[in-house]
Amino acid sequence: MDAVLFFLFAGIALAGAINLIRESHPIYSALSLVAVMGALAGLYLMLGAEFIAVVQIIVYAGAIMVLFVFVLMLVNAAPEVKLDRSKMAKNVGPPLLTLLLVEIVAVLRGKYPTSDLVHPSLLSGDNTRQIGKLLFSKFLLPFEVTSILILVAIMGAVVLGKRRPDDSR
């Protein structure tokens, strides 16, 4: 059962990701991304990471994707114009990518059974409560400092996006 579900979700995620790059219209790409996000949430659930799965749905598939689609509709995005792509990326990219994937699979599958792959302390379960506790005790500082990061990002959007007095000419 686990294996069936895993291959189902993994298949959807991969197909969505490939379709995302293949489609020429941004709306279809955005909708493929929704499928990827949903399938990933399913994979997280299977790993026992309920919190991450729910956050994935609410934040990514929900808020961020709605924003994406909304902006695409607002600017009435047309199908992308295909430009001449770099020859090197076209010819050297796929073989290198295949090599990397084969290497990763070979290293991780050949020598080691999957159960030893991850440190045992990380498989205790009960992770929603753990996250809640850690976020406001041990990881209080990163939690707070992230607000500076968000502030900088907001300021960047304003600085780069706002109309300047002399832009009207």
Partner 1 sequence: MSYLDQTLHLFPETVLAVAGTLIMVLSPTVKNARWLGRIALFALVLALFGSHVSYHHGEYMGSAFDGLVTNDAFAILFRQLFIIVAALAVLSSFDYLKREGIETGEYYALILFSVVGQGLMACSTDLVMIFIGLEISSISTYILTGYRRHDARGIEAALKYFLLGSFATGFLLYGIALVYGATGSTNLAAIRAAIPQANGPLVAMGAALMFVGMAFKVSGAPFQVWTPDVYQGAPTPVTAFMSAAPKAAAFAMFLRVFLTGLTPAAGYFWLLWGCAVLSMFVGNLGALMQSNIKRMLAYSSIAHAGYVLAAFTTRSAMGGAAAIFYLAVYSVTNVGAFLVVAHLAGKDESTVAISDYRGLGKRHPVLAACFTIFLLSLLGVPLTGGFFGKFYIVTSAVAAGLPGLAIITMINSAIGAYYYLRVVVTMYMEDAESPAATPAVPASGTLVLIFTVIGVFALGVFPTMVLEWASQAADILK
Q: Which residues bind partner 1 (CB under 8 A)?
A: 104, 107-108, 111-112, 116-122, 137-142, 145-146, 148-149, 151-153, 155-156, 158-160, 164, 166
Provide, rounded to whole angstroms, the least separation between the CB of residue 24 and partner 1: 19
Residue 125 token pair: 């379960």
Residue 123 token pair: 């498989």
8 A C-beta contact, residue 42 and residue 5? yes
Provide, rounded to whole angstroms, the least separation between the CB of residue 118 and partner 1: 5
Which H or E element spans position 59?
Answer: none
Q: By C-beta, is 1 or 148 nearer to partner 1?
A: 148
Q: By C-beta, is 75 or 141 nearer to partner 1?
A: 141
Q: By C-beta, is 75 or 117 nearer to partner 1?
A: 117
- 21 vs 17, 106, 127, CA distance in Å? 7, 27, 34
Closest C-alpha among 13, 60, 21, 77 to residue 40: 13
Q: By C-beta, is 8 or 140 nearer to partner 1?
A: 140
Q: By C-beta, is 78 or 113 nearer to partner 1?
A: 113
Provide, rounded to whole angstroms, the least separation between the CB of residue 2 and partner 1: 19
Burial 52-75 (b: 16+ CB within 10 A, else e): bbeebbeebbeeebeebbeeeeee
Provide, rounded to whole angstroms, the least separation between the CB of residue 61 and partner 1: 19
Provide, rounded to whole angstroms, the least separation between the CB of residue 103 and partner 1: 9
End-to-end CA distance of the chain: 65
